[in-house]
Amino acid sequence: KQEVTQIPAALSVPEGENLVLNCSFTDSAIYNLQWFRQDPGKGLTSLLLIQSSQREQTSGRLNASLDKSSGRSTLYIAASQPGDSATYLCAVATLSGGYQKVTFGTGTKLQVIP
């Protein structure tokens, strides 16, 4: 059974700092890994999707890496801003019973202090 862990559960940084969020998973036979952002009381917004054959994806100030063999992904946020404050979730997709199954981590709550 796939298990996804995100450490730390919460992180507070001053504005302008570069930071890294971590995601680890137990079953390396994944199809893809997706990073999401969730604002309080809202739905999930997709940030980056890394296919299993890829090592990283970039979008603006965000860079996500994937190391399947070690069961790890990182989300790098450059020059953090107060607007980046949110909970960040990673989700790992595997094949289960012929269907795609997605397992979510419990998230890292990020606070960027002005």
Q: Which residues contribute to the site for another protein (CB under 8 A)?
A: 31-32, 34, 36, 41-46, 49, 51, 89, 91, 93, 95, 97, 99-102, 104-107
Nearer to another protein, 80 or 107 (CB): 107
Phi-psi region of 16 (alpha: psi -120 to 50; beta: other; left: phi over 0): left
Question: C-beta of 7: minimal distance to another protein in Å?
Answer: 14
Contact criterion met (CB below 8 Å) for 68 and 53: no
**HSE of 69, CA atoms in CB hemisphere, 13 A:** 1
- In the bound state with another protein, the residue whose beta carbon lies nearer, of 18 and 51, is 51
CB of 76 to another protein, least distance (A): 20
The nearest distance, CB 54 to another protein, in angstroms, is 12
